[in-house]
């Protein structure tokens, strides 16, 4: 036996190491309801610990490398920029003047739109608080489209927060560490973002394919989808706010797995392969300005005063109704043969109070209560029957 | 390429390296593997942890060391992705084991031989990676032949430059 272990020691060590890792893999994979295997989005404690250690080892050198690189790049760019600073300043001043005029009109429109949406109680999410972060590294694996930020939980970054650039959406925070965060890009195979085509208003799910191209899946074949159409976020995934640019349609191809479905290949608006600075949306709570708050308070106050007036009118109507004489005599004692379970307020039809006696009219006609219906006189076949009248409430 | 007997390893001096070299080289490989693709527009046409694993396994001529080092490197790499932890670990364990086993029997001082071994083991590692995903985990993972070929070529090219540099740090017993 000893000679067996000694002879196959190397192989046995390999088998033991491989077996241990297979067992580790088994606890990370789960079967979905549709019968497919997938990775658990929430890592087990041991796996999360490994990821935490790996991040703790890799992130500090990456931050140093990144800071050094950005410093050198900034130094060079500043030198180049300074060479034409005067001309650029003049051009920029003209641009600022023009943009100020445009901004004034746009700001008024935006304020009006936000006020209207707040008043209509739309549950739309707004981007209100973002955190600028630097992309400092990648996963190092082509099939894993994740990258790392230099901001973590200590800076307010949390799981499932949207990551964007001014050009468009980038991804969402997958894992958070104390001083860094892992972001899952929209072109990863395991990502998923709700999107909508701008013109045709067709909704779908955006995710990456095997080579890292974003594509919209789960769309029925539709001739209206054409290359060049803009793609926006739909806002239904609880990650990305609605209306952010995603990209534009490059081409449409049939879904290889499902008949009558198509895959829409999208060119992302953000440069996913050249990310330096990104924005993390750390708060999507509705922002209401002071002016809007005053408007809403006024609206609430007016609504409250109106409700009070209506209530007062109802109360007055009840008092008037009590004071006005009715057809029933309130002094008449209730019938004695009521069963114990019956309510006096709702007497049965058989016990309804008798109709008051009316004076006999001097000249009764067919509308007089109790008069016998007269046979219709001969007015010709074209005379329509009198319409049945509904009693007024 | 000279094929030697099993006892040839004993006849050769066993190469060893200062602990600092082990630590710095492995750490640098892991950090650079995560950092460099950020500049290369996301393209990863090399596998530095695999190159380092192969180098130390070949030089030490020790399959057990190659296995354990490959497992550690692979698990570390997996931990930086959103994939299951252990897939690269298994692939690199096998690569490290084979490197150590080959080092016992073949004269690996020739840099062309070492580059060729790196090329083949890079392809094998990629194939094992996809195989584990498809067969063991039952998940979709596409085999990108051209990409794996480019990666193997890139790793071999880096190995041809890096191995002689690392040879300069060795200690002869």
pLDDT confidence tier of residue B130, bands split at 50, 70 and 90: very high
Q: ∠ CA(A310), CA(A313), CA(A319), 5° rounding? A: 145
Between the two ends of chain B, the Cα-to-Cα distance in Å is 24
Note whether B67 contacts A147, CB cutoff 8 Å: no
For residue B106, being part of any structural domain is answered with: yes
> Which residue on chain B is closest to A271 by alpha carbon?
B41
pLDDT at A384 over 90: no
Q: ∠ CA(B100), CA(B104), CA(B110), 5° rounding? A: 90
Mean pLDDT is lowest, of A33-37, A144-148, B12-16, B110-114, for B12-16
Cβ-Cβ contacts under 8 Å, B131 against chain A: none
3-state secondary structure at position A127: coil
pLDDT tens-digit readout, A197-220: 988 889 999 999 888 889 998 888
The beta-carbon neighbor of A58 closest among B30, B64, B93 is B30
pLDDT at B90 over 90: yes
Note whether B27 contacts A51, CB cutoff 8 Å: no
- Phi, psi (degrees; rounded to nearest 5) at A18: -65, -40
Note whether B138 contacts A36, CB cutoff 8 Å: yes
Note whether A61 contacts B100, CB cutoff 8 Å: no
pLDDT at A347 over 50: no
CA B70 from centre of chain: 7
Cβ-Cβ contacts under 8 Å, A36 against chain B: 138-139
What are the structural domains, with CATH classification, of chain A? 47-83+125-283 (2.40.10.340)
Higher pLDDT, A48 or A354: A48
Mean pLDDT over the full length of chain B = 87
Note whether A140 contacts B37, CB cutoff 8 Å: yes
For residue B29, being part of any structural domain is answered with: yes
Note whether B85 contacts A51, CB cutoff 8 Å: yes
Q: Please report, for chain B, how many H helices and E strands are present, in that order.
A: 7, 2
For residue B2, being part of any structural domain is answered with: no
Q: Over range A111-124, report the average pLDDT.
A: 59
> Which residue on chain B is closest to A135 by alpha carbon?
B38
pLDDT at A288 over 60: no
> Which residues 300-359 of A are in CB contact (within 8 Å) with B?
none
For residue B3, being part of any structural domain is answered with: no
> Which residues 192-211 of A are in CB contact (within 8 Å) with B?
210-211
pLDDT confidence tier of residue A370, bands split at 50, 70 and 90: low
On whether the CB atoms of residues A205 and A217 are closer than 8 A, the answer is yes
> Which residue on chain B is closest to A49 by alpha carbon?
B79
Structural domain count of chain B: 1
CA atoms of A372 and B66, how far apart (whole Å): 114
* Percent with pLDDT over 70 in chain A: 72
pLDDT tens-digit readout, A183-196: 999 999 888 899 99
* Sequence-ordered list of residues with C-beta below 8 angstroms from that of B167, at least 6 positions apart, any chain: B59
pLDDT at A106 over 50: yes
Q: Which stretch of DSSP H or E encloses residue A164?
A: strand A162-164
Position B148 scores a pLDDT of 92
Q: Is the alpha carbon torsion for A280, A281, A283, A289 positive or negative?
A: positive
- Hey, of A5, A6, A9, A21, which one would you mutate to test binding to chain B, going by the most B CBs within 10 A of its CB? A21
3-state secondary structure at position A147: strand
Mean pLDDT over the full length of chain A = 78
For residue B112, being part of any structural domain is answered with: yes
Note whether A144 contacts B81, CB cutoff 8 Å: yes
Burial of A89 (0-12, 13-18, 19+ CB in 10 A): exposed
pLDDT at B115 over 80: yes
For residue B104, being part of any structural domain is answered with: yes
Q: A254-284: b or e for each residue (b if 16 or more CB lie within 10 Å)? A: ebeeeeeebbbbbebbbebbebeebbbbbeb
pLDDT tens-digit readout, A40-51: 777 888 888 999
Mean pLDDT is lowest, of A25-34, A179-188, A371-380, for A371-380
* Sequence-ordered list of residues with C-beta below 8 angstroms from that of A65, at least 6 positions apart, any chain: A136, B31, B35
How many CB pairs below 8 A link A and B? 152
Q: Over range B149-162, report the average pLDDT.
A: 94
Distance from CA of A33 to the nearest CA of B (A): 15
| Domain range for B132 | 8-172
Q: Is B23 on the interface with A (CB under 8 A)?
A: no
pLDDT confidence tier of residue A334, bands split at 50, 70 and 90: low
Note whether B34 contacts A138, CB cutoff 8 Å: yes
Q: Is B103 on the interface with A (CB under 8 A)?
A: no
Cβ count near A136 (within 10 Å): 26
pTM assigned to the model: 0.69
- Which residue carries 């593997």 as its tokens? B33
Position B173 scores a pLDDT of 58
Q: Which stretch of DSSP H or E encloses residue A81?
A: helix A45-83
3-state secondary structure at position A131: strand
- Phi, psi (degrees; rounded to nearest 5) at A15: -60, -40
pLDDT at A391 over 70: no
Position B158 scores a pLDDT of 95
Note whether A17 contacts B67, CB cutoff 8 Å: yes
**DSSP for B66-99?**
HHHHHHHHHHHHHHTSSS-TTHHHHHHHHHHHHH
Closest CA to A263 of A271, A272, A254: A254
Mean pLDDT is lowest, of A5-19, A158-172, A317-331, B114-128, for A317-331
pLDDT confidence tier of residue A374, bands split at 50, 70 and 90: low
Higher pLDDT, A58 or A294: A58
Distance from CA of A142 to the nearest CA of B (A): 6
Note whether B68 contacts A174, CB cutoff 8 Å: no
CA atoms of A20 and A158, how far apart (whole Å): 32
pLDDT at B125 over 90: yes
Note whether A140 contacts B80, CB cutoff 8 Å: yes
On whether the CB atoms of residues A193 and A203 are closer than 8 A, the answer is no
| Widest distance between CA atoms in chain B | 48
On whether the CB atoms of residues B79 and A53 are closer than 8 A, the answer is yes
Cβ-Cβ contacts under 8 Å, B76 against chain A: 54, 57
Note whether B67 contacts A10, CB cutoff 8 Å: yes
CA atoms of A186 and A231, how far apart (whole Å): 13
Note whether A10 contacts B63, CB cutoff 8 Å: yes
CA atoms of A244 and A167, how far apart (whole Å): 9
Position A381 scores a pLDDT of 44
Q: At what angle do helices B48-60 and B87-105 cross, to 10 degrees?
A: 30
Cβ-Cβ contacts under 8 Å, B87 against chain A: 25
For residue B59, being part of any structural domain is answered with: yes
Q: At what angle do helices A85-119 and A45-83 cross, to 10 degrees?
A: 130
The radius of gyration computed from the CA coordinates of chain A, to the nearest angstrom, equals: 38
For residue B124, being part of any structural domain is answered with: yes
């Amino acid at each position: 036996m000893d000679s067996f272990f000694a002879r196959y020691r190397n192989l046995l060590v390999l088998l033991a190491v491989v077996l241990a890792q297979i067992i580790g893999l088994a606890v990370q994979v789960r079967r979905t309801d549709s019968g497919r295997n997938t990775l658990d989005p929430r890592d087990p404690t041991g796996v999360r610990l490994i990821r935490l250690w790996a991040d703790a080892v890799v992130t500090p050198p990456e931050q140093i490398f990144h800071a050094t690189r950005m410093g050198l790049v900034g130094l060079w760019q500043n030198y180049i920029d300074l060479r034409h600073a005067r001309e650029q300043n003049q051009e920029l001043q003209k641009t600022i003047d023009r943009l100020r005029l445009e901004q004034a009109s746009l700001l008024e429109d935006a304020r009006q739109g936000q006020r209207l949406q707040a008043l209509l109680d739309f549950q739309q999410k707004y981007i209100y608080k973002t955190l600028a972060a630097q992309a400092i590294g990648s996963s190092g694996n082509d099939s894993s489209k994740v990258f790392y930020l230099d901001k973590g939980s200590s800076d307010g970054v949390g799981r499932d927060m949207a990551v964007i650039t001014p050009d468009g959406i980038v991804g969402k925070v997958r894992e958070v560490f104390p001083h860094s965060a892992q972001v899952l890009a929209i072109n990863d195979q395991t990502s998923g973002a709700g999107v909508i085509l701008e013109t045709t208003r067709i909704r779908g799910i955006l995710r990456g394919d095997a080579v890292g191209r974003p594509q919209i899946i789960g769309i029925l074949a539709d001739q209206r989808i054409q290359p060049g159409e803009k793609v926006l976020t739909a806002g239904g995934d609880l990650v990305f706010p609605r209306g952010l640019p995603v990209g534009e349609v490059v081409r449409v191809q049939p879904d290889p797995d499902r008949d009558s479905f198509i895959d829409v290949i999208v060119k992302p608006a953000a440069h996913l392969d050249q990310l330096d600075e990104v924005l993390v949306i750390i708060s999507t709570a509705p922002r209401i300005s002071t002016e809007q708050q005053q408007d809403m308070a006024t609206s609430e106050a007016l609504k409250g005063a109106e409700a009070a007036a209506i209530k007062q009118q109802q109360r007055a109507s009840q008092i008037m109704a009590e004071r006005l004489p009715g057809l029933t005599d309130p002094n008449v004692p209730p019938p004695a043969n009521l069963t114990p379970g019956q309510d006096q307020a709702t007497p049965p039809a058989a016990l309804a109070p008798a109709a008051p006696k009316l004076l006999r009219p001097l000249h009764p006609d067919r509308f007089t209560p109790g008069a016998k219906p007269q046979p219709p006189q001969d007015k010709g076949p074209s005379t329509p029957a009198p319409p049945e009248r509904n009693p007024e409430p | 390429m000279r094929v030697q007997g099993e006892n040839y390893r004993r006849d050769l001096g066993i190469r060893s390296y200062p602990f600092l070299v082990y630590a710095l080289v492995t750490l640098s490989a892991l950090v650079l593997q995560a950092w460099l693709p950020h500049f290369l527009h996301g393209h990863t046409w090399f596998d530095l942890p695999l190159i380092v694993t192969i180098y130390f396994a070949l030089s030490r001529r020790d399959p057990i060391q190659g296995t354990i080092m490959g497992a550690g490197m692979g698990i570390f790499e997996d931990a930086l992705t959103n994939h299951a932890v252990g897939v690269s670990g298994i692939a690199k364990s096998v690569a490290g084991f084979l490197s150590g086993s080959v080092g016992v029997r073949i004269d690996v001082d020739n840099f062309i031989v070492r580059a060729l071994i790196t090329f083949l083991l890079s392809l094998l590692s990629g194939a094992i990676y996809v195989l584990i995903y498809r067969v063991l985990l039952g998940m979709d993972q596409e085999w990108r032949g051209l990409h794996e070929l480019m990666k193997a070529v890139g790793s071999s090219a880096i190995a041809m430059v890096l191995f002689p540099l690392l040879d300069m740090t060795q200690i002869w017993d």
